[in-house]
Structure 1
């Protein structure tokens, strides 16, 4: 067995992660919890709590080999080592990945300072970089913030690549970045795969992709050991098949010509008026309409339809009627969204929308 210590987010995380990956105590970056075990299996180096964007957070147990395999594969896919700007929380896998890649590259990451991400904070961090080979990892909302500031755009143009993950990036956002000469790499993965393991639809080295009954499944050396203290869920989500260990992502997608396309969560399909409606498909379509790039679509209740899509957006200055018509034209009357305009979309510390909170509001 191996001691498990809770490490608070902050400047000590890099050194603590270095020690954990080198056979020191296992760590969890976050807050102490009475149900956290004092020891874990020897092979576990890192425990990561999932964001809980759609429900109860889970504790994912990762080995040092898995974390380092992901870092090495990422470095190879991005064209070599470099220095990273850390703009994401280190108690989630995306932020920890930046630190792991920095350790693998032998470079010192530079942290974006401030309680909230800002273009000014990003510019200041970029100015402290010492290597010409520059990388960063952002969620779509952060990328949009940078692209809205000309000085931040100039700074970002000097980066070799910008990983964007956490949730699907609107095509309009990617087009804006490309127009400014910013190389965006779309990253797909999760805590259970030690972070992003598919870049722009192409699996990283040693990662294998398949789609079974519409569900995306992943295999490779970066897979987690399982869920800490939840053997049942581990058995359900990590399976042995065809001589390989696979992670069932619960994401819907297609695998064609060596490229993966994600359609959304398999559990985001509702029955509205007796018809199946994909909330993810509606959300993606809304992101392509002017003024709705922050829209988040969850399930709501309706006496007539049973369930209906409820679209939350912070853009109250754009009329919703054309968007409703556009969605109905694409997906039929059962997909007509009910809009709720809010001051801002609630976010988790990871930068993802707090879907659980919005789902609760949609039922009020």
Structure 2
């Protein structure tokens, strides 16, 4: 067994993480919990709490081999080592990955400071960089914020690559980035896969992709040991076959010609008036029709059972977007739009879907 220590988010995480990956105590970046064990299995170096954006939070147990394999695959896919700007929280896998890649590259990251992410804070971090090979990892909202600022956009265009993950990235945002000369790579993965392990639809390193019964499954050396203290959920979500460990993502998608397309969550399908409606498909069409920030959740309805409800900060007329959704998915997919209020976010930058659903159904 191996001791497990809780490390508070902040500047000390890099040192503690370096020690954990070298064989020291395993760490969890966050706050202590009464149910946290004092020890973990010897293979576990890092425990990551999931954001709980679509359900209850879980503690993912990762080995040093898994996260280092992910970092090496990422470095190869991105064209080599460099210095990273850390703009994401270090208690989530995306922020921790920036630190792990930095350890592997031999260059300490520079940190965006401040209570909230701003172009000024990002530019201040960029000024501290010491080598020309530059990388960063962002969520879509952060990328949009930087593209709204000319100076930040110019700085970002000088980066070798910008990873964007954490949620679906609207095509319009990717187009804006490309027109500005910003080289974006879309990252797909989760804490259970040591973070992003599919870049722009292609698996990196030794990662394998398969689709079983419509569900995307990811396999290879970056897959987690399981969920801390939850053997039943571990058995349900992880599969070992012929020496390969697979993670069942619960995402729907297809894998053809070596390219993965994720179409939504398997568990986001509702029955509205007897008709199946994919909330992910409704959300994607809203993004493609001018509502890039829209988040779609299910709401109870006395007549139809369930209906899709879209939240957006925009106040534009949603009628054209709704018409496009009806044409593509049918009248049952027509969302009720709640506009004009900011989307609540988790610390990871993902929309807080649980909060929105509770707000709608209470």
Corresponding residue of 2:352: 354
Provide the secondary structure at the position in 1 that maps to 2:255: strand
**How far apart, CA to CA, are the structure 2 residues paired with 1:178 and 1:341?**
28
Relative to the length of structure 1, the TM-score reads: 0.98
Cα displacement (A) at 1:104: 0.3
Conservation of the 8 A alpha-carbon contact between 2:285 and 2:321: no
Runs (5+) with no aligned partner, structure 1: none
Q: How does 1:174-323 map to 2 (within 5 A)?
A: 174-290=174-290, 292-316=291-315, 318-323=316-321
Corresponding residue of 2:95: 95
Corresponding residue of 2:322: 324
**How far apart, CA to CA, are the structure 1 residues paired with 2:361 and 2:146?**
34
Corresponding residue of 1:62: 62
Cα displacement (A) at 1:325: 1.6
**How far apart, CA to CA, are the structure 1 residues paired with 2:269 and 2:8?**
37
**How far apart, CA to CA, are the structure 2 residues paired with 1:227 and 1:342?**
38
Q: How does 1:75-94 map to 2 (within 5 A)?
A: 75-94=75-94
Corresponding residue of 2:334: 336
Provide the secondary structure at the position in 1 that maps to 2:116: coil
Conservation of the 8 A alpha-carbon contact between 2:312 and 2:338: yes
Corresponding residue of 1:44: 44
Query: Over the residues paired in the alignment, what is the CA RMSD in angstroms?
Result: 0.8
Cα displacement (A) at 1:305: 1.3
Cα displacement (A) at 1:319: 1.1
Cα displacement (A) at 1:320: 2.0
Corresponding residue of 2:121: 121
Cα displacement (A) at 1:342: 4.4
**How far apart, CA to CA, are the structure 2 residues paired with 1:283 and 1:4?**
40
1:345 counterpart = 2:343: yes
Instruction: Work out the number of aligned pairs and report it.
Output: 362
Provide the secondary structure at the position in 2 that maps to 1:329: helix
- For structure 1, which segment, 105-114 or 239-248, has the greater mean C-alpha deviation from structure 2 after superposition? 239-248
Cα displacement (A) at 1:57: 0.2
**How far apart, CA to CA, are the structure 1 residues paired with 2:205 and 2:69?**
9
Corresponding residue of 2:165: 165
Runs of 4+ in 1 over 3 A off after TM superposition: none
Cα displacement (A) at 1:289: 1.4
**How far apart, CA to CA, are the structure 2 residues paired with 1:242 and 1:304?**
49
**How far apart, CA to CA, are the structure 2 residues paired with 1:91 and 1:75?**
22
**How far apart, CA to CA, are the structure 2 residues paired with 1:187 and 1:324?**
29
Relative to the length of structure 2, the TM-score reads: 0.99
**How far apart, CA to CA, are the structure 2 residues paired with 1:20 and 1:305?**
52
Runs (5+) with no aligned partner, structure 2: none
